[in-house]
Amino acid sequence: MVVLITGGAGYIGSQLIRDLSVTPGFEDRTIRVLDSMLRERYVSIMDLPREGRFEFLEGDIRNEGDLKKAFVDVDMVVDLAGITNAPLSFERKELTFDVNVNGGRKVVEHAVRADVEKYVYSSTASVYGPTKGVVDEEYSCKPISPYGESKLQGEKACLDASKLHGLDATVLRLGTVFGYSIGMRFDTVVDRFTYLACIGMPLTVWESAQNEKRPYLHVQDSVNALIYSLTKSGMKGQIFNVIGENASMNRITSVITREVPAARVIITPTPNLNQVSYELDGSKIERHGFKPNHTLEEGVKEIVDKFRVLLRRKASSDTVKAVASVPISDG
């Protein structure tokens, strides 16, 4: 029997495939990774646990031939594939919808044909858009980015397949992920700011964004939630928020400066066009039986430990300018 992980070489997937291989009940299952390697994270499939049974296919979820190969003997699917950077999705709108919507629908269609036992779709808190107060899964989503809209349409494909074809599909709306995995990405705010602090660059925070909150989730908790959803019943056709903490920028920078005392925080009056404040209620999945248990402090410390040797170095002003210009995602 085969568990297919689309996007399995990514930030979350690189840790998921390792943990899944040693999860009780999965020892004899083949873990098959399908990834386009768009970000060239080849390190993600190096030094995999010897106990695991792994297969890797370099392919695209939009390609019927690639999916046909990927779905041979598959009985479980975790769909992590997709374009995930919200700010850049405005520049790459067509690609974002092609991969996340068209590609996502193809994965669902193949899962229905294969009559898989379980299907878990990794969505995002970015589907919500602006909110008032703390909102749950019943909130009427109004995403403001092509990324958020594309993931909302991806959710619909899963839930429609569950209603029409009986697919045992679960949708997890993950908070913005942070913390260390071998398939690291540094375009999300906690990871990016921690990296900048470690190499001596300032942390620039928009004045209007200091107290605005967003939902965050440690990468290990995201992996644990995906495995939980694969192994537990009573989640069919449902959406679950998965968040560790609704945190403000002040909260994030305070955690980073405690770990890196020399870090400089600069408050600027320049408006942040990507900043939307929203808080999510994660109690639904907690009532079901899963509770995130990794903190913001843990995630920051993990990344600082990886860069510890660089803490005393100073970056040139040219490097500061180049790195600070990278768009920060909320995906």
* DSSP codes, 70-117: HTTTEEEEEE--S---HHHHTTTHHHHHIIIIIIHHHHHHHHHHHT-S
Task: In whole angstroms, give the CA distance from residue 158 to residue 162.
Answer: 6
Which residue is catalytic, options 119, 121, 147, 216?
147
* DSSP bridge pairs for 242: 174
Closest among 177, 198, 189 to 306, alpha carbons compared: 198
Q: What is the pLDDT of residue 319?
A: 44
- What are the boundaries of each domain within the chain? 2-177+216-242, 186-213+246-278+288-324
Asked whether this chain's domains 2-177+216-242 and 186-213+246-278+288-324 adopt the same fold, the reply is: no
One-letter amino acid of 323 = V
Separation of alpha carbons 89 and 48, rounded Å? 32
For the domain 2-177+216-242, what is the CATH code? 3.40.50.720
* pLDDT given at position 231: 96
Which CATH architecture describes the domain 186-213+246-278+288-324?
Answer: Alpha-Beta Complex (3.90)
Assess contact for 6 and 81: CB atoms under 8 A.
yes
DSSP class of residue 310 equals: G
Q: Which 3 state secondary structure label does DSSP give 39? A: coil
How many CA atoms lie less than 13 Å away from 271 in the CB half-sphere? 3
Tell me the CB-side half-sphere exposure of residue 23, using CA atoms within 13 A.
Answer: 21
What is the phi/psi pair of residue 313, to 5°?
A: -85, 155
Q: Are 196 and 260 in contact, with CB atoms under 8 Å apart?
A: no
Whether the CB-CB separation of 195 and 186 falls below 8 Å is answered with yes
pTM of this structure:
0.92
Predicted pLDDT of residue 209: 81
Q: Are 100 and 89 in contact (CB under 8 A)?
A: no
- pLDDT, position 39: 84
Residue 254: partners with Cβ closer than 8 Å, 6 or more residues away: none
Catalytic residue at 11? no
Mean pLDDT of successive 10-residue stretches along the chain, which has 331 residues = 97 98 94 94 95 96 98 98 86 94 98 98 95 94 94 98 98 98 95 96 88 95 98 97 97 97 89 70 98 98 94 50 50 62
Q: What pLDDT is attached to residue 326?
A: 46
